[in-house]
């Protein structure tokens, strides 16, 4: 048998088959992705609020971008060219002639398969007369006829033909390579090799290097590493930040610098348009001398953010576009700032760690930028058609928050807002029905223990928090109030007037009357009663005692911007142990995420593992925010006495109707009763924060049971001491 031979495609037939196969594999998915469709307007819910801000936002969302038609036309042109090339290659393949055919001697002689030998000989003689070279025939054709005749009449040739398909016996195997021969020729072989080297040794490494260099600039949350370093620097430099200082640090993020972000647009007109705007921003402050706050890009970002929170009109559309871009980047920067604060607070030993007041101020930023309001502004301005001139009147009626307005009777609420038209009032009602109201339930346990209801010193405590979301204004309650009519409102107003007159004697100043009598020492004891009443609302259990009162924080007209730095100098051994244990907890939690089978006792997984749940459950009324916003929440636990953070800030982005979350923290190392405060903060609405008091009773750690070891050899010998053992003299003593 001959050796195998490899042949390149001389004609290019097989090469076309390979090309069209790979081309079809690539063309089909590209066609699916680039299939053009006529641009259609986005579907917008028209049943919501119809205020001016919401209308502009809906129109912008509904509008078709100008370049959509051009984009679809380019897609159609690209697909047309690609499919035209595919049709051309297919046509070339269809024109290929199939040369490879099996050797058939009957066909060469012009006989039927299995003809008799007499017919074969007769046919051979007939063909010899016409095709023999001596008689003017073709020599090659006669050789084929003679070879076919021999294959059918000679036993050896017939056997070779039946076995190998050839009367001459086995031939060398020929393997075709579906590449044209010119690729390996001396003329073009060097160019082909250079192309391979250029693609795999130059272009591919350069592309990977550029991708790696770009990805190394950002953290896992798509925030520049330089910005994260800046946040760490300013957290260690000024551990206690007020609102203005924290906003200044955020405006110094490198996402607003064109050198680090190509999407930033710098214009010559910025200098003339930003300066007048700076004069209108009263809280902007003086020029900063520390980098990067005195740079033009940071000043522009800080000015536009202040103007957004103040709801100032901008002089040009270009500045409005820049402001929208800056505002859309703020929330991700705030999340990174909060994350860096927690990391420094728990894991990085610094001389002055960031304070809890700094964290609380950072958590105020999300609702501030979603609603375009400062903390000192009235939260009622979140409602549509409510202006600043309506606030004094509502405050005189003791309406300070949206919750106060939602708690009123329908007819009384409508009387207070009688300056609004009917459709404007319906917009207010629509937003109140969108806003959330939470019911919070907590339960403390020590997971993994038999007596999980008992908390001992040093144990890992799990606080299970169940959030139940309700609308701030119930539709059914409002419908019932409308059906009752305004008569009941008059009775309620009369009843409301009496408590107003009785509040003055209830206050501390009105309790001076008993001082004239002999029992002047009793009023101070009565003053303590309200404080005791607040603690008596705590619902106790056998092991973990939790509070059942969850009330929103009262409104604040002014922001507490200055934090006490004296707390950072206090050293508490117990709080240091909390920080070290929390560090160990986080490392254990990261390693335990992979062990899904180890979850017992109803342990819930971390929020990061619930990414499959939708995060667009409840849309927020945010007419000033450029993007669609949905309700998210932040939870954290604070030890009341020391005012120290006990847990991480846990985000809750999947709350629809009800949700259970877990907060883990180490129990104090000393036996006693400790008071904690659970904080639940909204990232969408101002004055929609909740606190929940928790009473934790810590018992002494139980001593571990004594270890039981296996019996040793000495104990075995002692147990078997009563049994006789054989010795050499035992037999002699028995004989005596």
CATH code of the domain containing 271: 1.10.3380.10
For residue 576, CA distances in Å to 341, 344, 580 come to 17, 14, 6
Burial class (CB in 10 A: 0-12, 13-18, 19+), 557: exposed
Give the tokens for residue 711: 């019996």
d(CA 665, CA 445): 11
Of 365, 386, 385, the C-alpha closest to 375 is 365
Q: Does a structural domain hold residue 39?
A: no
Residue 227 and residue 218: Cα distance in Å, rounded? 9
Give buried/exposed letters for 380-414 (b at 16+ CB in 10 A, else e): bbbbbbbeeebbeebeeeebbbbbbbbebbbbbbb
Whole-number Å distance between alpha carbons of 124 and 102: 21
Residues of the chain with pLDDT under 50: 1-2, 497-506, 510-611, 723-726, 730-733, 735-736
Residue among 678, 674, 677 at smallest CA distance from 696: 674
Task: Give the residue carrying structure tokens 């937003």.
Answer: 431
**Same domain? 270 vs 211:** no
Answer yes or no: are the C-beta atoms of 691 and 678 closer than 8 Å. Answer: yes
Does a structural domain hold residue 674?
A: yes
Tokens linked to 157: 């040739």
Looking at the structure, do residues 207 and 225 belong to the same domain, yes or no?
no
CA torsion through residues 549, 552, 557, 562, sign: positive
Phi (first) and psi of residue 635, to 5 degrees: -125, 140
**Helix, strand, coil percentages for the chain (3-state, nearest 5):** 50, 10, 35
Number of domains in the chain: 4
Looking at the DSSP bridge assignments, the partners of residue 663 are 463
Pairing of strands 644-645, 633-639: antiparallel
Distance, in Å, from the CA atom of 269 to the CA atom of 331, rounded to the nearest integer, reads 27
Residues 254 and 328 in one domain: yes
- CA dist., res. 441 & res. 583, Å (int): 27
In a domain, 632, yes or no: yes
Letter string b/e over residues 573-608, b meaning 16 or more CB atoms within 10 A of that residue's CB: eebeebbebbeebbeeeeeeeeeeeeeeeeeeeebe
Residue 674, helix vs strand vs coil = strand
Tens digits of residue pLDDT in 469-528: 999 999 998 888 888 877 655 555 555 544 444 444 445 554 444 444 444 444 444 333
**640 and 554 within one domain:** yes
Would you call 215 helix, strand, or coil by DSSP? helix
Look at residue 488 in the predicted model and tell me its pLDDT.
56
- In this structure, are 205 and 243 located in the same domain? no
Q: Where are the alpha helices (DSSP H) in 132-259?
A: 139-153, 155-164, 189-197, 204-215, 225-237, 243-251
Phi first, then psi, for residue 545 (nearest 5°) are -110, 125
> Count of CB atoms within 10 A of residue 721's CB?
8
How many percent of the chain have pLDDT more than 70? Answer: 72
Residue 515 lies in a domain: no
Domain that holds residue 676: 435-507+533-564+572-591+602-703
Same domain, 111 and 131: yes
Assess whether 320 and 204 both reside in one domain: no
The Cα 366–Cα 372 span in angstroms is 10
* Co-location of 205 and 266 in the same domain: no
Which of 385, 489, 372 shows the shortest CA–CA distance to 431? Answer: 385
Whether residue 204 is found in the same domain as residue 311: no
Residue 708 lies in a domain: no
Question: Strand pairing of 544-552 and 174-180?
Answer: unpaired
Kindly state whether residues 235 and 190 are assigned to the same domain: no
Measured CA to CA in angstroms, residue 453 lies from 170, 541, 709 at distances of 87, 9, 31
DSSP-derived 3-state class of residue 636: strand
Q: Do 325 and 258 touch, CB atoms closer than 8 A?
A: no
State whether 191 and 233 are in the same domain.
no
Q: How many CB atoms lie within 10 A of CB 235?
A: 25
Cα gap 423→409, rounded to integer Å:
19
Burial annotation 259-292 (CB, 10 A radius, 16+ → b, else e): ebbeebeeeeebeebbeebbeebeebeeebeeeb
Element (H, E) at 586: helix 573-592
pLDDT at site 10: 58
Q: Kindly give, in sequence order, each residue whose CB lies less than 8 Å from that of residue 696, ignoring residues fewer than 6 positions away.
A: 444, 455, 461, 544, 545, 667, 673, 674, 675, 676
Asked if omega into 306 is within 30° of 0 (cis), the reply is: no
Please report whether residue 406 resides in a domain: no
Length of the chain: 736
Residue entry with tokens 């075995």: 716
Please check whether residues 288 and 323 belong to one and the same domain.
yes
Residues 662, 603 contacting (CB under 8 angstroms): yes
Which residue in 687, 187, 3, 710 sits closest to 404, CA to CA?
A: 687
Map residue 65 onto helix, strand or coil: coil
DSSP letter for each residue of 314-379 = PSSHHHHHHHHHHHHHHHHHHHHHHHHHHHHHHTS--SSPPPHHHHHHHTTHHHHHHHT--TTS-G
Angstrom distance (rounded) from CA 209 to CA 225: 18
Q: What is the CATH number of the domain that holds 123?
A: 1.10.287.110
- Does some domain include residue 489? yes
Residue 59 belongs to a domain = no
pTM > 0.85: yes or no: no
Rounded Cα distance between 343 and 264, Å, is: 30
């Amino acid at each position: 048998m001959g050796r195998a031979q490899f042949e390149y495609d001389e004609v290019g037939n097989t090469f076309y088959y390979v090309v069209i196969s790979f081309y079809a594999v690539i063309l089909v998915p590209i066609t699916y992705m680039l299939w053009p469709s006529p641009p259609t307007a986005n579907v917008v819910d028209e049943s919501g609020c119809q205020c001016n801000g919401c209308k502009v936002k809906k129109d912008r969302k509904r509008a078709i971008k100008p370049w959509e038609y051009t984009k679809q036309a380019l897609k159609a042109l690209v697909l047309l060219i690609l499919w035209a090339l595919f049709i051309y290659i297919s046509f070339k393949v269809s024109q290929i002639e199939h040369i490879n055919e099996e050797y058939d001697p009957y066909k060469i002689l012009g006989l039927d398969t299995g003809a008799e030998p007499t017919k074969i000989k007769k046919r051979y003689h007939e063909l010899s007369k016409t095709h023999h070279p001596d008689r003017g025939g073709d020599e090659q054709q006669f050789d084929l006829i003679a070879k076919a005749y021999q294959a059918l009449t000679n036993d050896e040739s017939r056997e070779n033909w039946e076995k190998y398909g050839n009367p001459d016996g086995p031939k060398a195997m020929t393997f075709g390579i579906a590449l044209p021969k010119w690729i390996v020729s001396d003329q073009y072989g060097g160019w082909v090799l250079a192309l391979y080297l250029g693609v795999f040794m130059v272009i591919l490494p350069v592309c990977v290097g550029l991708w790696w260099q770009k990805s190394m600039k950002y953290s896992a949350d798509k925030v520049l590493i330089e910005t994260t370093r800046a946040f760490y620097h300013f957290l260690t430099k000024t551990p206690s930040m007020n609102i203005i200082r924290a906003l200044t640090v955020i405006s110094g993020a490198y996402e607003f610098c064109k050198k680090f972000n190509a999407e930033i647009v710098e214009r010559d007109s910025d200098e003339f348009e930003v300066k007048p705007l700076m004069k209108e921003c009263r809280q902007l402050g003086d020029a900063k001398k520390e980098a990067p706050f005195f740079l033009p890009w940071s000043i522009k970002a800080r000015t536009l953010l202040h103007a957004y929170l103040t709801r100032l009109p901008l002089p040009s559309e270009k500045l409005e576009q820049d402001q929208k871009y800056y505002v859309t980047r703020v929330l991700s920067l705030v999340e990174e700032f909060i994350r860096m604060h927690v990391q420094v607070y728990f894991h990085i030993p610094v001389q002055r760690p960031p304070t809890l007041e700094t964290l609380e101020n950072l958590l105020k930023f999300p609702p501030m930028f979603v609603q375009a309001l400062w903390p000192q502004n009235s939260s009622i301005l979140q409602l549509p058609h409510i202006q600043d001139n309506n606030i004094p009147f509502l405050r005189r009626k003791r309406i300070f928050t949206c919750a106060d307005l939602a708690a009123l009777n329908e007819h009384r609420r409508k009387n207070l807002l009688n300056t609004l038209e009917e459709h404007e009032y319906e917009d207010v009602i629509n937003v109140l029905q969108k806003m959330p109201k939470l019911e919070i339930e907590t339960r403390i346990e020590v997971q993994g223990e038999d007596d999980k209801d008992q908390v001992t010193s040093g144990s890992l405590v799990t606080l299970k928090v169940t959030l139940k979301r309700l609308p701030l204004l119930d539709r059914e309650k409002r419908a019932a109030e409308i059906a009752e009519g305004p008569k009941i409102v008059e009775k309620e107003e009369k009843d409301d007037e009496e408590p107003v007159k009785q509040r003055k004697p209830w206050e501390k100043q009105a309790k001076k009357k008993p001082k004239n009598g002999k029992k002047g020492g009793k009023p101070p004891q009565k003053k303590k009663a309200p404080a005791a009443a607040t603690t008596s609302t705590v619902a106790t259990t056998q092991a973990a005692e939790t509070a059942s009162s969850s009330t929103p924080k009262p409104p604040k007209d002014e922001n507490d911007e200055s934090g006490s730095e004296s707390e950072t100098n206090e050293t508490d051994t117990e709080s240091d142990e909390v920080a070290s244990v929390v560090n160990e907890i986080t490392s254990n939690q990261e390693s335990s995420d992979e062990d899904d089978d180890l979850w017992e006792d109803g342990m819930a997984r971390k929020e990061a593992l619930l990414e499959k749940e939708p995060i667009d459950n409840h849309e927020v009324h945010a007419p000033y925010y450029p993007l669609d916003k949905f309700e998210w929440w932040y939870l954290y636990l604070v030890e009341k006495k020391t005012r120290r953070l006990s847990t991480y800030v846990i985000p809750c982005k999947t709350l629809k109707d009800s949700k259970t979350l877990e907060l883990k923290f180490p129990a104090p190392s000393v036996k006693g009763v400790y008071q904690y405060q659970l904080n639940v903060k909204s990232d969408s609405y101002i004055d929609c924060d909740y606190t929940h008091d928790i009473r934790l009773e810590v018992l002494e750690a139980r001593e571990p049971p004594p270890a039981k070891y296996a019996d040793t050899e000495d104990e075995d010998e002692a147990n078997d001491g009563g049994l006789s053992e054989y010795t050499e003299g035992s037999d002699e003593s028995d004989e005596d």
